[in-house]
Amino acid sequence: MWNPRTGRWRSICPMSVQRCEVGVAVLNDKLYAVGGKGISSCLDTVECYDPHTNKWTPCAPMSKRRCRVGVGVVNGCLYALGGYETYSASITSRLDCVERYDPKTDTWTMVAPMSVPRTSVGVCELGDRLMAVGGYDGRQCLTLVEAYDPHLNEWEPVAPLNAGRAGPCVVVKNLTNSM
């Protein structure tokens, strides 16, 4: 864990499951590790890190195993977007489905799918919408950008990227006062 006051890294409590290609997001001051690839397969497991206690706590598993999953937060819920479910040298099953996690009830619910199955999608909150940015569809890095409205449970396309991107880190800063 990085401490910006001291400018140093320190080790924290390890996760209970080794993961790579994991999706992460912060919700309610806790870090969530969502899916990823374990030793031999993609994972449906989720863990939550509390920096105040230095402990990881297991959460309810997703309904799908997901590696290279996009993860974001809107309206107090965590969302897992796309990813792939299985992987071998010849077969990759990319997902368009999206699941929503409610930390109050520790439950996952399927919501409307994205328009295109994809891995490595960038995710961020913009107002009361969840943005899905770019990703990889198995052939190319995508310029596709979609906005999810949790009240209507619908995705709508918005202006595309100028160039395709997979795995973008997407951060939105409130610029309303400077425009």
pLDDT per position as a tens digit, 28-37: 999 999 999 9
Question: Looking at residue 173, what is its pLDDT?
Answer: 67
Q: Indicate the pairing of strand 98-102 with strand 77-81.
A: antiparallel
Closest CA to 18 of 41, 49, 51, 50: 41
Judge whether 54 and 13 are in contact, CB under 8 Å.
yes
Residue spans of the domains in the chain: they are 17-158
- Supply φ then ψ for residue 177, to 5 degrees: -80, -20
Q: What is the pLDDT of residue 169?
A: 85
Read off the pLDDT of each residue in 13-21 and give the average, rounded to a whole number. Answer: 94
Judge whether 85 and 68 are in contact, CB under 8 Å. Answer: no
Looking at the domain 17-158, which fold is it? Neuraminidase (2.120.10)
Residue given tokens 């209507």 in the structure block: 152
pLDDT digits (tens, 9 = 90+) for 72-110: 999 999 999 999 998 665 567 899 999 999 999 999 999
Q: Which residues contact 123 (CB under 8 A, 6 or more apart)?
A: 25, 70, 71, 72, 79, 81, 130, 131, 132, 133, 170
> In this predicted structure, what is the pLDDT of residue 88?
64
From 56-70, 137-151, 163-177, the region with the lowest mean pLDDT: 163-177
pLDDT of residue 178: 45
The closest alpha carbon to 47, from 23, 65, 67, 28, belongs to: 23
Average pLDDT, integer, range 127-146: 95
Helix/strand/coil for 178 = helix
Predicted confidence at residue 174, as pLDDT, reads 59
d(CA 69, CA 35): 7
**Stated pTM of the model:** 0.92
pLDDT mean across residues, the chain: 92
Largest pairwise CA distance in the chain: 50
